[in-house]
Amino acid sequence: MKSYRIAVVGATGAVGQEILRTLERREFPVSRLVPLASARSAGKKVAFAGREIPVEELRDEAFAGIDYALFSAGAARSRQFADACKKAGAVMIDNSSAFRMRDDVPLVVPEINAGDLAKHRGIIAVPNCSAIILGVPLWPLHRAAHLERIVVSTYQSASGAGAQAMAELEAQTRAFAAGTPLERSVFPHQIAFNVFSHNTAIADNGYNEEENKVIEETRKIFHEPALPIVATCIRVPVLRAHSESIVIETRKPLSPEEAREILSRAPGVKLVDDAAANHFPMPIEASGQHDVLVGRIRRDLSRTDGRGLALFVAGDQLLKGAAWNAVQILEHLTS
């Protein structure tokens, strides 16, 4: 069996670590693994396939001989090293927002638009985590009944902002338990016992960066450049996995029973919709899972024409929202 030389850029970060674990779990054939990070982290070791591998400094020369480079080190690093990666002949699978909306860069969720991979010219982008978790359960409903509008409100975990943000929530929690002041440095507001509007800048249209990503990226992934979407992105004091409250309008009527039947056999989705037990998607249950959990599927009570549904979903934004989606792309490219 063929095996591949893989670089993981940002190997010590929250998503980089999940990429290493996912490559192991999937038994992806790696002939050589090169963990890359900033000079600060160089020399640290990461665990992979039973070995301890020293982290190398992220430099142009680091991509020599690499087949695929999985980037999770932020948009600035992706922009800085994209050329070096290309010159070395390595294909870039990028978790950052740097190239997502570029026409020559496929933006891919394999369950939705794996076909776009064929058009890549050296860079493939992994969408924003909230867009992926929205798209996976909505795509099969779109195919069945054609979505005409999406209204989504998110419940996003701290780890979406990285390992330090998760540590900040834990530290504030410990401070609360100890009765000491809650300190913050990562988030602009207290995250423990609070919720707040996503900590990205507000654009001229009144929407923050995260909301605009959800809207624009979903349209690109779905090949529906005018799909009407309104998004509200909110941080909640959850360590891991994002949840989303969704209301959709469809061109064709779609009953909750039909939607449930479609989702029960859709790829990447797991139905958790037990009204009798009051058991629905929750972030603590979505954590560590590849699938997006979907439930609370019900008629939109504000409509009488049967062309609306409400649902609630939860997905691990470090896995399906980032690392697992990147490794899925890698598996598609090498299969």
- Which residues are known catalytic residues? 129, 242
> How far is CA 276 from its chain centroid?
31
Residue among 146 and 149 whose Cβ is closer to a second copy:
149
Closest approach, Cβ 273 to a second copy, in A, equals: 10
- Asked if residue 197 binds a second copy (CB under 8 A), the reply is yes
Among 61, 278, 305, 335, binds a second copy (CB under 8 A): 278
- Asked if residue 174 binds a second copy (CB under 8 A), the reply is yes
Residue among 37 and 231 whose Cβ is closer to a second copy:
231
Question: Which distant-in-sequence residues (6+ apart) come within 8 Å of 276 by Cβ?
Answer: none
- Asked if residue 186 binds a second copy (CB under 8 A), the reply is no
Among 1, 39, 118, 178, binds a second copy (CB under 8 A): 178
- Asked if residue 234 binds a second copy (CB under 8 A), the reply is yes
Among 38, 113, 232, 289, binds a second copy (CB under 8 A): 232
Among 42, 117, 144, 151, binds a second copy (CB under 8 A): 151
- Asked if residue 206 binds a second copy (CB under 8 A), the reply is yes
91-94: strand order across its sheet: 56-57, 30-37, 4-9, 68-71, 91-94, 123-125
- Asked if residue 306 binds a second copy (CB under 8 A), the reply is no
How far is it, in rounded angstroms, from Cα 248 to Cα 297? Answer: 11
Tokens of 53: 């591998």
How far is it, in rounded angstroms, from Cα 198 to Cα 220? Answer: 22
Among 89, 288, 303, 331, binds a second copy (CB under 8 A): 303
Decide if 154 contacts 5 (C-beta within 8 A): no
Q: Looking at 36-44, 48-56, 79-87, 147-155, which segment touches a second copy (CB under 8 A)? A: 147-155
For tokens 């999770």, name the residue.
Answer: 72
- Asked if residue 225 binds a second copy (CB under 8 A), the reply is no
Tokens of 7: 């670089």
Q: DSSP assignment, residue 315?
A: E
Q: Looking at 15-23, 41-49, 125-133, 185-193, which segment touches a second copy (CB under 8 A)? A: 185-193
Question: Could you tell me whether strands 123-125 and 292-299 are parallel, antiparallel, or unpaired per DSSP bridges?
Answer: unpaired
Decide if 321 contacts 292 (C-beta within 8 A): no
Phi, psi dihedrals of residue 61, rounded to the nearest 5°: -70, -15
- Asked if residue 75 binds a second copy (CB under 8 A), the reply is no
> Residue 260 forms beta bridges with which residues?
none
The two counts, helices (H) then strands (E), for the chain are 9, 16
| Count of residues that bind a second copy according to CB under 8 A | 60
Closest approach, Cβ 239 to a second copy, in A, equals: 5
Which amino acid type is present at position 240?
R
Q: Looking at 16-24, 42-50, 128-136, 290-298, which segment touches a second copy (CB under 8 A)? A: 290-298
How far is it, in rounded angstroms, from Cα 17 to Cα 35? Answer: 10
Which amino acid type is present at position 76?
A
- Asked if residue 236 binds a second copy (CB under 8 A), the reply is yes
Count other Cβ atoms within 10 Å, centred on residue 108. Answer: 27
Helix (H) or strand (E) holding 229: strand 229-232
Residues that bind a second copy (CB under 8 A): 149-151, 153, 155, 169, 173-174, 176-178, 188-190, 193-197, 199, 201-202, 205-208, 215, 228-232, 234, 236-239, 243, 245, 247, 256, 275-276, 278, 280, 282-284, 295-303, 308, 310, 312
